[in-house]
Amino acid sequence: MRKGMLYGSAALYLGAYLGYRLQVKFEYLIILTLLISISFVLTKAELKLFVLLSFCIGFSIINYCEESSMLSQLIGRANVKGYIEEVYSKSDFGNTYTAFIYDIDNNKIEERCLYFIKGKEKIEPGSHFKSNVKIEQIRDAGNPGLFSYKDYLRIRGIYAKLSSNEREIKINKVDLPLGLKFRNKVLNYINNEMNRGLNKENSSFMNSVMTGKSDLSQVDRDSIRQLGLSHIMAISGLHMGIISLFLIYFLRFFKIDLNIIYIIIIFLLGLYIYIIDFRASAFRAYIMISLFMIAAVLHKGYSAKKALSLSVYIILLTNPYRVNDIGFILSVLAIIAIISYDEFSLYDTENLQLMTGLKFCIIINLVLFPFLIYYFNRFNLLTFIANLIVIPLFSIAVSTAVLKLMISLIAPRISFYLGSFIDSIIMIIREIMDLLNQIDFLSIKLPSSTFYIIIYYLILLSFLKRYDLKKSSYAIKKKVFKISSLFVSIYILTNFLLDPAIIDFIDIGQGDAALIRSGKYSAMIDTGGSYDDEERLYKYTLRPYLEKQLSNKVDMVIISHDDLDHSGNLEYMYRDGLVDLVVSSDYELNKRYLNSFDLYTDDVFRLNNMSLKTVTDGRKGDSTNDRSNIIKLSHHKLEILFTGDIESEAERRVLNHDIKAEVLKVPHHGSQSSSTPDFLDSVSPKYAIISVGKNNYSHPNEDVIRRLEDRGATVYRTDTDGRIRIISHRLGYYLKKNLPKRRNRINYLEIFEFVIILISSHIIYKFMTSGDDNEDIKLY
């Protein structure tokens, strides 16, 4: 087995990933020194240079992409010239476009961006414009693990967003570059054809399948994702395989030589890849298919492993931000699973096989399982059945769609009938998905954990191909037992001797929500919520965050007061069974929930060695804000004071209480009416946390921030720092913010953790695979 390109692509990926995580400019020497040391341990002599070079390229190129973007360095107003590429999204207030900018304040630039134009007028693609615009940086995900819109746009080469009014833009001419003009015409042609003979919902389904652009409802998206069928909606290797096999059968019907068929398919698939804007999963499949067909034409050998490694290398070189592309990662892992399980050509046209067998479905999902849990926090056991039933029907629908597109110009009536046939197939698929989604008890829900993913994945890979567990030697079993015992011991030492606790101030926008965990117990103080659309905030922020952090529901939710920005998400948590007990001093709120508890002053709740004490229940307050409950958390050397939205009057009433704390959750999002000097002197915090989002109230107030800083408090804000985590244990505590991702200095702790994981993983792998015959490793 020749693993040169395999090691190279892995090193390139690790370099790009670490470069993305650290995002430093000139402090490469420490990283490179560590890499050189690791490479001498992990690789054979002739690979050292290639692995090192690949890592350095990956580490450098992702930083270069960020630095080379002029728009990513600017904030404010500027005069720009450019042209509209396509409509990105529509709203009642205006339209968002992807635009190409070639001049900014009379300086040459070549960069894509998002461009929001306020107003109802639709601007045609190809419109060249000049405008005075506002440049905004796209905010990263405030809560780790949740969808990052910034990363999503980076993958597409977009680093900033421009905005202006209709009156600020002047159209000069309408003229798209030839390539984009061709792309748009083909996309419009596909869209129109998918509309003929299909109803609206099924047309949207097929448009997503064929072009990657869709207006599918969120209900349909959730239904597809919950069954593990997301790969049929994203243009992936499955689509490329179906299309290439259909074209082979179709062209061979006309007695065309197989070598010529291969050349035609490489050309047609290349055009298709360009039309769908080089989506990574499809691009990976295209490279592998092309290499196979070129090898067949030249009568050369073909290695799926080498082709996969080369495709990964090419894709990451062209766009290193693909390290964050979930579809690309899952696509590569699925192919690795297939290749590792069975050595066969994926594109053997002399002996075509439908890979719908149960063994392939199981092995792919076994490999993908930890990553599906990490990204989506759920795995439906019906995925196996869903794939076995849906994939054959889906293959028929895609093949028919290709045929429909090919004959629509010469036989439009037949094309319409084919559309009706596709419509029936998609209707059956949707009915099957709806039926399977009703069986909810087979859905496994687990929190995200990098540590357990590594252990699961290494053990699976080690045994999957190399060992039959029933026949494995006593020595191997003994090593497995020793490794397992080591990790169990580390877990016991960490959780029982240090007794850690985690307090997360969630980035919930303009609101409050804190998740508290100690051992197997959890609690929340407030849930956040939006006055405009609190269910959307819950669905896309709070619920996924809780699913990523917890293996079960929250044991207790304490509500400071019944304002929507503090309690609005509670009803949705209760509806979905994510909360066991509601605690509040508000009678009207408590009576809405079956499991509720009335909160009073001096009540104490315990979570392991942590206590949550009610300093005051707020019943004496004259306003809604002043009726906020004040809670003091104590855990070893840490004390946190949660203050809800109390204002000056309530602050005055608690001055004689025990409110001194190392950490203060700043009252009322930093409002000027709160955080009086006497109150701050009594609390005397070392750290002040302001839970705040975009608002029209001027929160937080500059005077409040100044008063906190004058008293030596370090101020953290969820709107600029994202989620703020406090980790407390017997030896002390420390705070960690999630934003900004870019750092001016290297985080040496993060480097150390990364190196430890890498070395530990290699040691485990060596233990698990010892005794194998080592093959020569050559670089090709």
3-state secondary structure string across 131-191:
EEEEEEECCCCCCCCCCCHHHHHHHCCEEEEEEEEHHHEEEEEECCCHHHHHHHHHHHHHH
Q: Check whether 744 has a pLDDT greater than 60.
A: no
Cα 407 to its chain centre, rounded Å, is: 40
Sign of CA dihedral 177, 183, 186, 191: negative
* Neighbour-count burial of 440, counting CB atoms closer than 10 A to its CB (0-12 exposed, 13-18 middle, 19+ buried): exposed
57 φ/ψ angles, rounded to the nearest 5 degrees: -65, -50
CB 731 within 8 A of CB 498: yes
Q: Distances in Å between the alpha carbon of 212 and those of 91, 100, 239, 410?
A: 20, 21, 11, 26
Q: Check whether 491 has a pLDDT greater than 60.
A: yes
Q: What confidence category does residue 378 fall into, taking pLDDT thresholds of 50, 70 and 90?
A: confident
Nearest to 634 by CA among 663, 610, 617, 658: 610
CB 590 within 8 A of CB 599: no
Q: What confidence category does residue 485 fall into, taking pLDDT thresholds of 50, 70 and 90?
A: low
Q: Which residues are CB-neighbours of 302 under 8 A, at least 6 positions away?
A: 291, 292, 295, 296, 345
pLDDT value at residue 214 = 67
Nearest to 650 by CA among 714, 561, 569, 717: 561
Give me the residues paired with residue 169 across strands: 131
Highest mean pLDDT, choosing among 106-115, 235-244, 742-751: 106-115
H-type helices in 23-103, by residue range?
Answer: 29-42, 48-68
Q: Check whether 488 has a pLDDT greater than 90.
A: no
CB 632 within 8 A of CB 625: no
Average pLDDT for the chain = 83
In three-state secondary structure terms, 513 is strand
Q: Which pair of structure tokens corresponds to residue 271?
A: 């055009």
- Backbone torsion region of residue 712, taken as left when φ is above 0, otherwise alpha when ψ lies between -120 and 50, otherwise beta: left
The residue that leads in pLDDT, 762 or 8, is 8
Cα separation, 677 vs 710, in Å, equals 10
Q: What confidence category does residue 720 fall into, taking pLDDT thresholds of 50, 70 and 90?
A: very high
Q: What confidence category does residue 470 fall into, taking pLDDT thresholds of 50, 70 and 90?
A: very low
Q: What confidence category does residue 352 fall into, taking pLDDT thresholds of 50, 70 and 90?
A: very low
Encode pLDDT of 538-558 as tens digits. 988 999 999 999 978 999 999
Assign 3-class secondary structure to 89-127.
Answer: EECCCEEEEEEEEEEECCEEEEEEEEEEEECCCCCCCCE
Q: Check whether 763 has a pLDDT greater than 70.
A: no
Q: What confidence category does residue 51 fall into, taking pLDDT thresholds of 50, 70 and 90?
A: confident
The residue that leads in pLDDT, 412 or 681, is 681
Q: Which residues are CB-neighbours of 643 under 8 A, at least 6 positions away?
A: 560, 628, 630, 664, 665, 666, 667, 668, 674
Q: Which residues are CB-neighbours of 669 under 8 A, at least 6 positions away?
A: 510, 512, 645, 690, 691, 692, 695, 697, 699, 700
Q: Which residues are CB-neighbours of 342 under 8 A, at least 6 positions away?
A: none
Cα separation, 155 vs 376, in Å, equals 20
Q: Which pair of structure tokens corresponds to residue 161?
A: 């967003």
**102-120 burial string, b = 16+ CB within 10 Å, else e?**
eebeeeebebbbbbbbeee
Q: Check whether 195 has a pLDDT greater than 70.
A: yes
pLDDT value at residue 405 = 93
Q: Check whether 264 has a pLDDT greater than 50.
A: yes
Cα separation, 332 vs 341, in Å, equals 14
Average pLDDT over residues 180-198: 90
The residue that leads in pLDDT, 735 or 488, is 735
Q: What confidence category does residue 347 fall into, taking pLDDT thresholds of 50, 70 and 90?
A: very low
Range of lowest pLDDT (306-320, 471-485, 611-625, 662-676): 471-485
Assign 3-class secondary structure to 222-247.
Answer: HHHHHCCCHHHCCCCHHHHHHHHHHH
Q: What confidence category does residue 777 fall into, taking pLDDT thresholds of 50, 70 and 90?
A: very low
Look up the pTM and report it: 0.84
Average pLDDT over residues 355-376: 75
Q: Check whether 696 has a pLDDT greater than 60.
A: yes
* For helices 326-341 and 280-297, angle between their N-to-C axes, nearest 10 degrees: 40
Q: What confidence category does residue 335 fall into, taking pLDDT thresholds of 50, 70 and 90?
A: confident
In three-state secondary structure terms, 362 is helix
Average pLDDT over residues 499-510: 94
Range of lowest pLDDT (218-227, 417-426, 604-613, 654-663): 218-227
Q: Check whether 726 has a pLDDT greater than 90.
A: yes
Fill in the amino acid letter for 530: S
pLDDT value at residue 479 = 61
Cα 279 to its chain centre, rounded Å, is: 16
Q: What confidence category does residue 755 fall into, taking pLDDT thresholds of 50, 70 and 90?
A: low
pLDDT value at residue 681 = 96
pLDDT value at residue 244 = 92
The residue that leads in pLDDT, 73 or 639, is 639
Cα separation, 615 vs 599, in Å, equals 11
pLDDT value at residue 83 = 94
Q: What confidence category does residue 374 fall into, taking pLDDT thresholds of 50, 70 and 90?
A: confident
Cα separation, 778 vs 780, in Å, equals 6
pLDDT value at residue 40 = 58
pLDDT value at residue 665 = 97
Cα separation, 421 vs 489, in Å, equals 60
Question: Which helix (H) or strand (E) is 389 found in, with range?
Answer: helix 383-407
pLDDT value at residue 53 = 78
Q: Check whether 368 has a pLDDT greater than 90.
A: no
Q: Check whether 707 has a pLDDT greater than 90.
A: yes
Range of lowest pLDDT (131-145, 217-231, 237-251, 596-610): 217-231
CB 376 within 8 A of CB 346: no
CB 284 within 8 A of CB 318: no
Q: Check whether 115 has a pLDDT greater than 90.
A: yes
pLDDT value at residue 72 = 84
Range of lowest pLDDT (465-469, 530-534, 620-624): 465-469
pLDDT value at residue 565 = 93
